[in-house]
Amino acid sequence: MLVSTTIQEQTIFSHRGNHIDTEDKVIDVVSKYEDPLVVILDNVATHEECNTLIAQARDRLSRSKIGQTKETSQERTSSGMFFEENENDLINRIEKRLSDVMCIPIDHAEGLQILHYKPGQEYKPHYDYFKQSENNRISTLILYLNDVEEGGETLFPNLNLAVSPKKGMAVYFEYFYSNSKLNELTLHSGNPVVKGEKWVATQWMRRKKVR
C-alpha cells in the first residue's frame, strides 16, 4: 500500500478555536489560509482605540522609508511613523495584546508603525523579512484603523488572496518556515487606495529580543 504523507510545519501562531483570549480583549478568528499561515482577525482593537492611534500619529508622519537602506522610494508612497516602545498606556495595551495574538514575547516586538495612504498611494509587492539579518523578522500583524471606501486591499499575489481593510480587523502572517518556498509565498502589497484614505498599524516580530 502506498501511503502519502505531507508533513506540515509547526506554526508560531498556536491558537485553536474561533477566539483568542488576550489579557484585556477577546479577539475573533474570522478565516485562515493554511500554508503559509495567514489569519484574518476581527475585534483586535476597538473603534475608539483605532481613532486614538490615528490622532496620536497624525502630526508625526513623514514619507515612508524602505528596507534597511532607509531611503524613500516609489515602491512605497505612503507616510508613516513609529511609536516608541511603551510610549503611553494605549501603546502598552495594544503592544501587549498583539504580542498575545502573535504568540511572541513583547521584547521581540519592533515599535508599532503607523502608515497613512491617500488616494493613489500604495506599497508595492514586498517581503517583510530581510535578505540577510542577524535578527530577522519572523511575523507581521497589520491592524486596519479605518474603513477604506475603495481599494487599499492587502494583496498576497502568490495566494490569490486580497484582504479588504475594515476598522478594528487585522491580517496576521508568518515567514519563519524552514521551507523557504513557504516564506516566499508571503509576498504582499498594499494596493493603491482608490477612494478615501487608509490607516494601518503594523507590528513586526523579530526572532530574537530587540528590547
> Degrees (nearest 5) of the Cα angle 127, 130, 133?
160
Of the pair 162, 209, the CB lying nearest ligand AKG is at 162
Stretch 151-210 residues interacting with ligand AKG (CB under 6 A): 154, 188, 190, 200, 202
> Degrees (nearest 5) of the Cα angle 158, 115, 165?
55
Reported as type and span, the H/E element at residue 54 is: helix 47-58
Residue 44 interaction partner, one of Fe ion, ligand AKG, none, beta carbon < 5-8 Å per kind: none
Stretch 75-104 residues interacting with ligand AKG (CB under 6 A): none
Of the pair 10, 76, the CB lying nearest ligand AKG is at 76
Of the pair 79, 99, the CB lying nearest ligand AKG is at 79
Q: Residue with CB nearest ligand AKG?
A: 190
Query: What is the C-alpha separation between 193 and 195, in angstroms, rounded?
Result: 6
Residue 142 interaction partner, one of ligand AKG, Fe ion, none, beta carbon < 5-8 Å per kind: ligand AKG
Query: Residues near 30 by Cβ (< 8 Å), separated by ≥ 6?
Result: 40, 41, 42, 169
40, 57, 115, 148: residue in contact with ligand AKG (rule CB under 6 A): 115
Least gap, CB of 115 to Fe ion (angstroms)? 9
Place of cell 479605518: 146
Would you give the DSSP letter of residue 181? H
Give the count of alpha carbons within 13 A of 179, CB side only. 11
C-alpha cell at 110: 519592533
Of the pair 49, 122, the CB lying nearest ligand AKG is at 122
Question: Where does this chain bind ligand AKG (CB under 6 A)?
Answer: 115, 123, 128, 142, 154, 188, 190, 200, 202
